[in-house]
Structure 1
């Protein structure tokens, strides 16, 4: 038997002023676009802003639907729009912010499993890490790549004879 330990590094910032300019701009864009979310059922408005390797910033917000899986999360909304309109541009970073039903930024925030998988696919597609910036009420957390959110991931290597990192 063999045991392996998986460590995830998260850098935590107390406020926007501690962030580099690009990260700060992404967080502000994610906060702004969260307000456009259509979330009549959950009352949880999420915004995502990503920056591509060509410098383009793309935003998306969650869009709910009464027929539950028919909606789309903010992260995938932005990611799919970017991939459709800039198919050869890699995502460098994505900031995610949310407003709860009280109008406050979410106490804690992390992408759902489907969004993690979609972001991971983009990371593998372009063979470049995507920095994840999570904007919560009390702090901002940054992860260096999507694999940090999904360490035992299912990816294209799982479908071939490729080698997984683990």
Structure 2
């Protein structure tokens, strides 16, 4: 038996004002994406902004459904929009934030496992890292420089899709 220690590196900021102007703009866009959230059941809005190479920003927000499993997270809304509208685009970075009137969110909200797997697939497809910023509207910001830092054991099976 071998015991292996896994470490990740992330940056922690007290607020968005400590980020680069480019990252501040992305966070501001993720806040704007909250406006299109359809979350009448949970009342928990999530907004995502994704920057493509060339500077284009694509927004996504969570979309709920009365049949809960039929809804979709903000990250996947934005990523699937990119996949269908800009299939050859390269994603540089993404920012994710959340808001609710039910309570104060004091720590950045992170992506669910399903979203992380989809994010990992985009990173793998483009063969370059995607920086991810988790942004609390009135506080802390966390930033990683690759989805692999968030999902080191993401599902990968190279034989799927091959003719082998």
Question: How many aligned positions are there?
Answer: 161
1:86-120: CA deviation from partner (whole Å, max 9, x where unpaired): 11111110100000233745633100011000000
Q: Normalized against structure 1, the TM-score is what?
A: 0.90
Q: Normalized against structure 2, the TM-score is what?
A: 0.91
Q: Which runs of 4+ in 1 moved over 6 A?
A: none
Instruction: List alignment gaps of at least 5 residues for structure 2.
Output: none
Aligned to 1:40: 40
Aligned to 1:153: 154
> Cα RMSD over matched residues?
1.8
Matched ranges for 1:87-98 at <5 A: 87-98=87-98
Instruction: List alignment gaps of at least 5 residues for structure 1.
Output: 161-166
For the 8 Å contact 1:37–1:63, the answer to whether it is kept is yes
For the 8 Å contact 2:108–2:142, the answer to whether it is kept is no
The 1:158–1:5 alpha-carbon spacing in structure 2 relative to 1, beyond 3 Å, is farther
SS of equivalent to 2:36: coil
Matched ranges for 1:12-161 at <5 A: 12-102=12-102, 104-105=104-105, 107-136=107-136, 137-157=138-158, 159=160
1:62-92: CA deviation from partner (whole Å, max 9, x where unpaired): 0000111111110011111111111111111
SS of equivalent to 1:46: strand
